[in-house]
Amino acid sequence: MTAMADLYPDVRSMHIDFADIEKHDPDLANYTLNRPSLSIRSAEEALRRMLSHALTNPTIHFRIKGLPRDSRIEVRGLREKHLGTFVSIEGLVRKATEVRPRVIMAVFDCVRCGHKTIVEQEGMSFHEPLECSKDDGGCGRASGSTKFRLQPEESRFVDTQKIEAQEPPEGMRGGAQPERLAGYIEDDLSGRISPGDRVVLNGILKSVQKGTQVKSALFDIHLDVNSIEFEEREYEEVLITPEDELRIREFAESPDYFDRIIQSISPTIYGYEQEKEALALQLFGGVTKVMDDGTRIRGDIHIALIGDPGTAKSQMLRYMALLAPRGIYTSGKASSAAGLTAAAVKDEFGEGRWTLEAGALVLADKGLACIDELDKMNDQDRSSIHESLEQGTISVAKAGITATLQSRCAVLGAANPKYGRFDENRSVAEQIDLPPALLSRFDAIFTMTDRPDSQQDRKVAAHILKAHRRGELMLHESPEEITAVDVGEIMRDSQGLVPSMERDFLRKYVAYSKRISPVMSDEAVRTLEGYYVSIRKLGEGEEASVPITARQLEALIRLSEASSRARLSQVVMAEDANRAIKIVEYYLGKVASEGGRRDIDIIATGTSRSQREQIYVLRSLVQQLSDERRGVSAEELIQKAAAENIPEDRVRALLKRLSDAGEVYSPQPGYFKLASEERIG
């Protein structure tokens, strides 16, 4: 207590564990849960009195942590009976306002007689004196016949902050929207919470009447926060018992452990073996490192699925969001102001203050963000998503708010081609509305095309039909009564649709694996280095393209580490490196090759080497053939370009690109001219 007197005002709160109150006096503990306002106010009053010898009129808080499990209520479970009681809410902070002072004791001067009136302020609305009271020695005028002037210097203020917490995603049942609760934080607790934090808020549930002009019979609820507990242990949200641990270890020893993991990813989706393998590795993730100089190297594996409509992209994203610990599914065209990243907004919520609001990538911190329709994201997200993908942070600097939020999540993105369907003769970058700089941040990019092919179609159709039929039968309590089909046969035949590992077990397995930080063995290092150097060699020589860059080497390292984690192994072996190489080879072969030649620039810059050459050729053709007035016709260009082996549709596509980039323009329809002649030597 004397310590508190010495440390005041730096320390203004006394923190106490609920268990200690309970040990000391169970009745008092119980009373505190039911009538917290009174109980806490009395405790604070007692503290103030004990300190009164050393301090005059101190602001002291009595803060209680560690409420019993019964007081832990889900936001959606809050009811009238909880009003005024002490509750404990677990939540993910979505919004937080700036910290601003609120008046708690207002001193007014009566403009007629100068007498001072003190009005204690409670809650968010401001109360003025009703009269200049004669009893206090004032002039006795009512508020109608005099005015009261607030004296800020003599009044007392307290820092306040408003936050909004939402239910954590892992507690949500199948895709339900999380419910939210506003909380008020005061004095020394304010300013400690950032959007994206996972917290337990202990406080008193309050209600306020809705409507300002016309009062409503409906009331809104909020939490007067008494204490905050921060949750740090991200993967321990998934509880792993000693029996689980035994099962997990045993599973990792089984010879087909990896096939079973892959089989457990979206088994109702046919095919996509390589893609599923990569998605499995993404769950486990690589190792995030902090180097001696403070540089952070991410371990999160980012994957993009790009492809035709109806190729099960959304389906897989949703599946992964449910499977991954801290998984979130969202669309690029998110409706909230924060979008995918974060935003500072001034709206009703902040009651005049700026509010910092977290988007999906912040809410998925230390988890997996599954972002559908990534190509539809807004411009603000486009400019700030790089930072999230590479550094795991999102910075906001707007109107007085400067903040850096954590977004250390892996990203699984999906996008559709710009023109509806993939053209396999064109590069990915050309067909996707995503900047190459962003695309190249992904560790693996898969294209999913949907071409009629009777052999493949039959298999997919059989698989989908099997799934539906199994689903139909599972709705029946006693399916054996259905005689029109051979139920036993159908159920047996579709056994492959049952995930080999139940979802809960796989989640536990993944959570457990994250405790391991594997280290690369010499042979793993040699394998990766050998691969990288040999592929780079293909790029030597003047005519050659750059086949691969250091980014892919880093992707290989992350994928290898993930593979090692999947075995629960501390050491990355050659087999892990080879698994990573297989995946990278597979996707590079599809998205970063042209005419059998590896060319990473297709992803890294959006333009392959041969395209770059074609652009030069076309530009110089435009320059040579242009006449002063009209430029040159598309027909003539196509004809001349054919002699240089550039096909017609290529010429048209490149002309469009050059026009979009402002390098050529059309003096009249169908004719082209260089925008600036000097630029070509």
Binding site for ligand ADP (CB under 6 A): 269-271, 309-315, 460, 463-464
**Residue 611: closest CA among 658, 675, 662, 677:** 658
395 binds Mg ion per the rule CB under 5 A: no
Binding segment for Mg ion (CB under 5 A), chosen from 165-173, 244-252, 307-315, 508-516, is 307-315
Residue span 275-304 as binding mask against Mg ion, x where in contact by CB under 5 A, dash where not: ------------------------------
Cα separation of 533 and 550, whole Å?
10
Q: What is the DSSP-derived secondary structure letter of residue 485?
A: S
Q: What is the DSSP-derived secondary structure letter of residue 142?
A: B
Question: Which residue has the closest beta carbon to Mg ion?
Answer: 314
Partner whose binding site includes residue 488, from ligand ADP, Mg ion, none (CB under 5 to 8 Å by kind)? none
We find the least distance from the C-beta atom of residue 199 to ligand ADP, in angstroms, to be 34
Partner whose binding site includes residue 517, from ligand ADP, Mg ion, none (CB under 5 to 8 Å by kind)? none
State which residue, 123 or 310, has the beta carbon closest to ligand ADP. 310
State which residue, 119 or 312, has the beta carbon closest to ligand ADP. 312
State which residue, 308 or 575, has the beta carbon closest to Mg ion. 308
Buried b (16+ CB within 10 A) or exposed e, 260-293: ebbbbbbbbbbebebbbbbbbbbbbbbbeeeeee
CB of 198 closer than 8 Å to CB of 94? no
Partner whose binding site includes residue 549, from ligand ADP, Mg ion, none (CB under 5 to 8 Å by kind)? none
Cα separation of 36 and 23, whole Å?
18
N-term to C-term CA, the chain: 82
CA quadruple 350, 401, 95, 206: dihedral positive or negative? negative
State which residue, 63 or 463, has the beta carbon closest to ligand ADP. 463
Partner whose binding site includes residue 166, from ligand ADP, Mg ion, none (CB under 5 to 8 Å by kind)? none
**At residue 487, what is the residue type?**
V
State which residue, 67 or 374, has the beta carbon closest to Mg ion. 374
State which residue, 313 or 366, has the beta carbon closest to ligand ADP. 313
Per the listing, tokens 């452990």 go with 257
The pair phi, psi for residue 627, each rounded to 5°, is -95, 160
Per the listing, tokens 């490149």 go with 654
**Residue 409: closest CA among 304, 510, 302:** 302
We find the least distance from the C-beta atom of residue 280 to ligand ADP, in angstroms, to be 17
State which residue, 37 or 314, has the beta carbon closest to Mg ion. 314
Partner whose binding site includes residue 349, from Mg ion, ligand ADP, none (CB under 5 to 8 Å by kind)? none
Tokens of 433: 């509305």
We find the least distance from the C-beta atom of residue 314 to Mg ion, in angstroms, to be 3
Contacting Mg ion within 309-328 (CB under 5 A): 314
We find the least distance from the C-beta atom of residue 275 to ligand ADP, in angstroms, to be 10
We find the least distance from the C-beta atom of residue 312 to ligand ADP, in angstroms, to be 4
Cα separation of 280 and 272, whole Å?
12
Beta strands in 66-171 (DSSP E): 86-97, 100-110, 116-120, 148-150, 156-166
Partner whose binding site includes residue 544, from Mg ion, ligand ADP, none (CB under 5 to 8 Å by kind)? none
State which residue, 464 or 546, has the beta carbon closest to ligand ADP. 464
CB of 195 closer than 8 Å to CB of 183? no
How big is the site for Mg ion, counted in residues (CB under 5 A)?
1
Instruction: List residues near Mg ion by CB under 5 A.
Output: 314
